[in-house]
Amino acid sequence: MRVGRTPYRSIFLDEDSWGVRVVDQTVLPHRFQLLRLESADDVVRAIRSMVVRGAPLIGAAAAYGVALAVRADPSDASLEDALERLAATRPTAVNLRWALHRMDEVARDLPPELRADACYREAASLCDEDVELNRAIGGHGLAILHELAVGRPLNVLTHCNAGWLATVDWGTATAPMYRAHDDGLDIHVWVDETRPRLQGAALTAWELGQHGVPHTLIPDSAAAHLMSKGEVDVVIVGTDRTTALGDVANKIGTYPLALAAADNGVPFYVAAPSPSIDWQTEDASRVPIEQRDSDEVISVRGLGPDDAVGVVRIAPEQTQAVNYGFDVTPRHLVTGLITERGVCDASGEGLRRLFPEGEGAPGSEAS
């Protein structure tokens, strides 16, 4: 997508064709900065610190992390170590497991001297596929938005950042919005701020602005009020893990949005690329919910009057906090899943209609 007039992907190889460049998402929207990753350790730190975030991008970065590891040391021990450490970075996003399994399959049976080239090719292929998946999701979502167009600005609400910064390009939930804007549809996006890390305020608002999509930032708590006043025509969010039966694990605060949408008759769609489908899990209670550092709740990062990015405490010093990173939206609250193969009901039957290969589909251990 565009930054100014320059097209970017969120992850790409550097000019030397082995170092990996990523957008540092911790300094946005105040600075646009690219970081170079040169080792699996660099990738682990980037994922843990949320320099790199978003389920599809985490998978893509992990794939390049494996390539960097075997470039430095192609031995079995090095491969195993990289896979193990990368897998431990973020527990909820299933794309991470899927990408590492795919890289392991490519490298495992090759002679050590052939592993690096093969892993770089596979990581590049995974990234290219992600772009096309998201472009296709955008097309299917665009059809929904055209159906909902009402002769005035179409108001779409989204949560967190499921944009191009969370993927390799286009985004999942935002892809229909970009396609609609480019198609001339009169569209306006309500952007949830998304406490506590404020990915909506810092990232989604920034990238929508870069693309010229009209948008308005709102507190998370204002979303239900806007729905009750008829100011929201549709909600589209992303997913970090969709169970085999259609329940959706996404950024904390998604479940209350779905409840409010159901109460107000607002369609609630989830943009769900196939690598985010967990074919191994039917029971949503088994989805691991990441608990992050409580400092993210009791402090806020922002730009100070001296134009320096800093952290400010907003709670009393003795106050304790809990910081759940995700929640699970039950499938009965989801109007439909927008996948690269079309839109389906949020159900096992709906998913298998589009992905009849089921257990062998992308996102499964068996793929």
Q: Which residues are catalytic?
A: 240
Tokens of 335: 């109007």
CA 180: distance to chain centroid? 20
123 vs 59: CA distance, rounded Å: 9
Provide CB contacts within 8 A for 172, sequence distance 6+: 56, 134, 137, 162, 166, 238, 239, 271, 272, 273, 276
Provide CB contacts within 8 A for 101, sequence distance 6+: 365, 367
CA angle centred on 233, ends 55 and 180, rounded to 5°: 65
* Phi/psi at 151 (5° precision): 80, 10
What DSSP designation does 204 have? I
Provide CB contacts within 8 A for 150, sequence distance 6+: 233
Tokens of 94: 């299933």
Tokens of 40: 């699996």
315 vs 292: CA distance, rounded Å: 17
| Residue written as token pair 């793929």 | 367
Q: Which of 223, 273, 216 is nearest to 93 (CA)?
A: 273
Go through the chain and tell me how many residues it has.
367
CA angle centred on 284, ends 283 and 290, rounded to 5°: 135
Q: How many CB atoms lie within 10 A of CB 222?
A: 15
* Phi/psi at 269 (5° precision): -110, 150
**Pseudo-torsion of CA 10, 329, 142, 278, nearest 10°?**
60
Q: Decide if 306 contacts 321 (C-beta within 8 A).
A: no
232 vs 298: CA distance, rounded Å: 31
